[in-house]
Structure 1
Amino acid sequence: MSEVTKMTRSTQEQAVASWVNYLNQVRIDRLLSSLQQQDENLLTALGSVHEAIRKINLEVVTANRGGQHGMHGFIAELAEVGIGNARKHILGQDPVYQWVNDNGPVDLLRDGVEIQQKFVAAGGRFSLGAITEHLQKYPDYVNNGGKYQIPADHFEMVQRLRAMPQEEAGKLLSRSSGGPSFTDWRRIDAFFQQGSIGIDSLEPSTLEYRDVQRGAYASTMAAEEHSLRSTDQSLRNTAYQESLPTLQEGASATLAAGAIEGGTAFVLAIIAKTRGGKRLREFDQQDWADIAADTGLGFGKGGIRGSSIYALTNFTATSAAVASSMVTAAFGIAEQANRLRRGEIDELEFIEDSERLSLEAAVSALSSFVGQALIPVPVLGAVIGNTIGAIMYSTVASSLSNREAELIERYVDEQRVLDEQLSAEYQELIQRLHESMSDYLGLLERAFSPDLQVALLGSAELAQRCGVPTGEILDSEEKIRSYFLD
């Protein structure tokens, strides 16, 4: 394989790796951007709730606005604005509610739609009685596009009773059950029979009637804050899941890598044929079969490379450049292993070729990594770095003279002889150590023998072997008696 061909393939391989790395980086950047934006969304949403609480405390509760029986209406208005806008903010959307606060026919504006809130439990009409009074004062309110907003629990009951036939209502509704009565049904039926407004002019509030009472709004807003945090965490989890590698993206990387490497193999195969002296129009069936085989092999290797790089970069702590080099080295070593099995090379050549392939792959990875760092342009930096690194490595590798190569070979032979010599000396030392240990264990066995006479002689021999002076060894009855009694 010529140096140009090797460089072309190496550059193409690192280009594929850099492209896969770019796909991964895009997903990571998108995740980081989403999380950063979500930080701002959460802060703004909580700020909307806190601002509503502040206004309720200062402008309604402290000022006793609306008195004992009407205060909850103003609390409902501010709570609706704060919570409604917060739920938009947490999704990264613009606020929709505006508090009018002029004691006029409109309490709130939502994207330009006028809203009149009615939170009234008196009279058992589920806030419909208050709507009737408002319509009498402002008869054109609905015709002008206005909406009436009532507590969520009131709206649910109104819908339920309005859809219930009279016969069924008379049978099922009773005060004894703790639910609505037949009288409640007749009031709601009469309201809609008047024909002033339809159910489409009503809408439920975010809150229920009990949520906006003076003693309950604090816990209501606290629960909403907790809900916002839960929504925020869910959005973050969704963003994280969307940033994970997918089978579809992996398949795309596999096909693209296969197409790139197959295309490169196709071009190189044609160039190799033309260098042999043939023109393109002179290619016969066998030539095109050879080109097709090289192209198919390139496509297969490219697919393996793409899927392997995608898996290694996403599921292990491996950079794209290193992953590509690992795949390249694996292909090269597998090819050398086949040559070894066929007897084309011996074991030493196999090892040397494998080392060379690994070194070239490492140089390619390092060059691409440095190039991408110095030229932070996707793919381009890795390609330039790999090209420069390959040229430098080729220049250095080919600069060794025959004399230097012979010196290296002689050094390897000397190291092999030295290794054999050291191995023989090591075996001799092991044998001597084994013999010494056998003698020592024999002495210990005699020194601690149950037979006193054998133990006495064995202990004396052991002491002598350990370097104790002969005069100090208790090896007779006289010495023992003299040592203990004199």
Structure 2
Amino acid sequence: MNKFAQTTQEQATAAWINYLNQLRVDALLELLATQKDNLSDAISSINNALLKIDLEVVSTNRGGQKGMHGFIAEIAELGIGNARELISGQKATYTWVNDNGPVDLMRAGVDIQQKFSMSGGSFSLAAVEEHLKRYPDYVKNGGRYQIPQDHFTTVQRLHSMSPEEAGRLVSRSGKGESFKDWQRINKFFNEGSIQIESLEPSKLDYRDVQRGTYASTLESEQDSLRSTDRALRDRAYQRSRPKLEEGAKASLVAATLEGGTSFLLAVMAKRKAGKQFQEFSAQDWAEILTESGLGVARGGVRGVSVYSLTNFTATSAAVASSIVTATFGIAEQAHRLRNGELGALEFLENAEVVCLEAAIAALSSFVGQALIPVPVIGAVIGNTVGTIMYQCVSASLSRTEADLIKGYLADQRALDEELAAQYGRLVDELNQGLSNYLAVLERAFSPDLQIALRGSIDLARALGVPTDEILDSKNKTSSYFLD
């Protein structure tokens, strides 16, 4: 009974660790499947933007030579903005208003007016000022202005400069921002009705949305999305890998369970000996605690070992736990051998029994978990049924029956060898056939027309095309194409 309870607890611990591992794997697979859809949606957002620009702007010459890039910028911002949300599993937030009114885009309920302009070297601020004159309440009502990313960077840098710093820009006039640029920008914010907080950068530079560059801009964005997708997948994989903290938790839980089981079994053994609880002596409790401590130690080793074997080798949890159990059992038999309690023959026989019982427990738990796919419960039920059946069978098998089983196993091994040989021959035949097929295929697609013609005829024959349907002569070829 004690042995049965111990193996059940051991396999339950292994099944629980296996469940933890499976949760991580299932979460990773689910995330990867979702990420595949995210990438597809993000790429579609870019493709839709490209198509919309081609059909609604470029082909119709919308905005003319000077204003076309503004409409391209709106649609490109829409496609890229939504794609960057979709790639990470978020909802698309941009919509295109497209009514030639005060609002170009909507982003999560926020009005956005885009201004992509090089007029007067104002970094798009002149266009913003003109829009404010037409719609003076636009900013008060929560609207925002969006200018090219490179323009915004320049505006932000010059706006933050002190007059002393700006004075040093004179020497760089013509090569970068000038002192006049600084004066113009400061005048805009000091005398106007808008603060820099009402501006935001586009995801695009001014040059990115010109008629000759928008296609390469959006294609580059697709490459960037694929790179982001790979990074997200890699991050998900890294998060799903076995962790030291989880291994320590598994070890702690296994130690607690095995220590508790050992404590209960030790108390039950004292009770079966006829002692009441109040009769337990200090020596009895010391023995119980010693056995419990050994159980805690075994459980800790089991937890670490099972977690490591299941995560870093191709070993199932049931088998991993049985390996640990067999190791403990053989170590105990080795200790008895060294102390002279066993002879060499008895040691070998006992070691075989330990390994057999561990294997029975592993197989039973594995089958039970497969038939009853409920975490832990299936393994426990499988171990219970398998162990009881093994105990019954091992106690009742006669030597004749054992010999029959041994003979059956020998027949199975012979059959395995014969099937392995047949399999090897079939693989060789398949490889030879494939090699011949590839040789014919190579000739059929040769750049040399004569070789390709003969190769095509050989390929048709190899594929079983009827002879009268193969164009292997001038007459057949002429008849096929001209008659």
User: Is this contact kept in 2: 1:174–1:180, CA < 8 A?
Assistant: no
2:277 to 280, 283, 290: 280
Indicate the residue corresponding to 1:225 in structure 2. 222
Indicate the residue corresponding to 2:10 in structure 1. 13
Indicate the residue corresponding to 2:455 in structure 1. none
Q: Per the alignment, in what secondary structure is the counterpart of residue 134 of structure 1?
A: helix
Q: TM-score under structure 1 normalisation? A: 0.81
Across the aligned residues of Structure 1 and Structure 2, the Cα RMSD in angstroms comes to 1.4
User: Is this contact kept in 2: 1:118–1:127, CA < 8 A?
Assistant: yes
Match status 1:160 vs 2:157: yes
Q: Supply the distance in 1 between the matched residues of 2:174 and 2:282 (Cα, whole angstroms).
A: 92
Indicate the residue corresponding to 1:109 in structure 2. 106
Indicate the residue corresponding to 1:386 in structure 2. 383
Range moving further from structure 2, 176-185 or 249-258: 176-185
Residue 150 of structure 2 aligns to which amino acid in structure 1? Answer: D
1:398 to 395, 402, 427: 395
Indicate the residue corresponding to 2:481 in structure 1. none
**Matches of residues 89-108 of structure 1 in structure 2 within 5 Å?**
89-108=86-105
Q: Supply the distance in 2 between the matched residues of 1:289 and 1:191 (Cα, whole angstroms).
A: 87
Residue 297 of structure 1 aligns to which amino acid in structure 2? Answer: L
1:65 to 56, 62, 68: 62
Post-superposition offset of 1:195? 3.7
1:171 to 149, 168, 171: 168
1:372 to 366, 369, 389: 369
Match status 1:56 vs 2:49: no
Residue 77 of structure 2 aligns to which amino acid in structure 1? Answer: E
Number of residue pairs matched by the alignment: 403
Residue 339 of structure 2 aligns to which amino acid in structure 1? Answer: R
2:341 to 330, 339, 344: 344
2:260 to 258, 263, 266: 263
Q: Supply the distance in 2 between the matched residues of 1:266 and 1:180 (Cα, whole angstroms).
A: 80
Q: Deviations over 1:113-154 (max 9, x none)?
A: 000000000111110101111011000000000000000110
Q: Supply the distance in 2 between the matched residues of 1:231 and 1:56 (Cα, whole angstroms).
A: 25
Indicate the residue corresponding to 2:35 in structure 1. 38
Q: State, as a whole percentage, how many aligned pairs show the same letter.
A: 64
Post-superposition offset of 1:170? 2.3
Structure 2, unpaired ranges of 5+: 407-483
Post-superposition offset of 1:177? 5.0
User: Is this contact kept in 2: 1:173–1:179, CA < 8 A?
Assistant: no
Match status 1:196 vs 2:200: no
Q: Supply the distance in 1 between the matched residues of 2:43 and 2:245 (Cα, whole angstroms).
A: 38
Indicate the residue corresponding to 1:246 in structure 2. 243
Q: Deviations over 1:160-217 (max 9, x none)?
A: 1111122331232345451112221111111011140101100000000000000010
Indicate the residue corresponding to 1:148 in structure 2. 145
Post-superposition offset of 1:339? 0.5
User: Is this contact kept in 2: 1:270–1:291, CA < 8 A?
Assistant: yes
Q: Supply the distance in 1 between the matched residues of 2:397 and 2:130 (Cα, whole angstroms).
A: 103
Q: Per the alignment, in what secondary structure is the counterpart of residue 98 of structure 1?
A: strand
Q: Per the alignment, in what secondary structure is the counterpart of residue 168 of structure 2?
A: helix
Q: Supply the distance in 1 between the matched residues of 2:197 and 2:368 (Cα, whole angstroms).
A: 65
Q: TM-score under structure 2 normalisation? A: 0.82
Q: Per the alignment, in what secondary structure is the counterpart of residue 63 of structure 1?
A: coil
Structure 1, unpaired ranges of 5+: 412-486
Residue 238 of structure 1 aligns to which amino acid in structure 2? Answer: R
Indicate the residue corresponding to 1:136 in structure 2. 133
Q: Per the alignment, in what secondary structure is the counterpart of residue 91 of structure 2?
A: coil
Residue 128 of structure 2 aligns to which amino acid in structure 1? Answer: I
Q: Which has the larger radius of gyration?
A: 1
Post-superposition offset of 1:281? 1.5
Range moving further from structure 2, 45-54 or 391-400: 391-400
Residue 48 of structure 1 aligns to which amino acid in structure 2? Answer: S
Indicate the residue corresponding to 2:441 in structure 1. none
Q: Per the alignment, in what secondary structure is the counterpart of residue 352 of structure 1?
A: helix
